[in-house]
Amino acid sequence: MLEIIICDDEKALRKNLRKIIATELDLCGIAYHIMEYSSGEELLQELHVYDYQILFLDIEMKHLNGIETAKKLRAMHRTAQIIFVTSYQDFVFQGYEVRALNYIMKPYQPGKITEVLHTALKELDYTAQKYFVVQKKDGDIRLPLSSIKYFASERRIIHVFTTDASYTFYGRLNELSPQLNTTFVRIHNRYLVNLKYVQSIQSNTVLIDGEELPVSRSCKADLEIAFAKYILC
Give 210-225 pLDDT, tens digit per residue: 899 999 999 999 999 9
Q: Which CATH number fits domain 2-124: 3.60.20.10, 3.40.50.1820, 3.40.50.2300, 3.40.1110.10?
A: 3.40.50.2300
Domain with CATH 2.40.50.1020 in the chain: 131-232
The pLDDT value given to residue 98: 84
The pLDDT value given to residue 46: 84
Q: Average pLDDT, stretch 147-175?
A: 95
User: pTM of the predicted model, to two decimals?
Assistant: 0.59
Residue 176: how many CB atoms within 10 A of its CB? Answer: 17
Distance (Å, whole) CA 79 – CA 208: 38
Instruction: Give yes or no for residue 128 having a pLDDT over 50.
Output: no
Instruction: Give yes or no for residue 40 having a pLDDT over 90.
Output: yes
The pLDDT value given to residue 139: 82
- CA–CA distances in Å: residue 2 to residues 6, 52, 168: 13, 8, 32
Radius of gyration of the chain from Cα atoms? 22
Domain with CATH 3.40.50.2300 in the chain: 2-124
Closest CA to 37 of 14, 65, 54: 14
- List the beta bridge partners of residue 207: 200, 212
Instruction: Give yes or no for residue 8 having a pLDDT over 90.
Output: yes
The pLDDT value given to residue 232: 75
Give 50-109 pLDDT, tens digit per residue: 678 999 999 999 889 999 999 998 888 677 899 999 887 766 566 667 889 999 999 999
User: 177 pLDDT band (50/70/90 cuts)?
Assistant: confident
Give 194-208 pLDDT, tens digit per residue: 999 999 999 999 999
CATH code assigned to 131-232: 2.40.50.1020
Task: Output DSSP code: residue 109.
Answer: -
Average pLDDT, the chain: 89
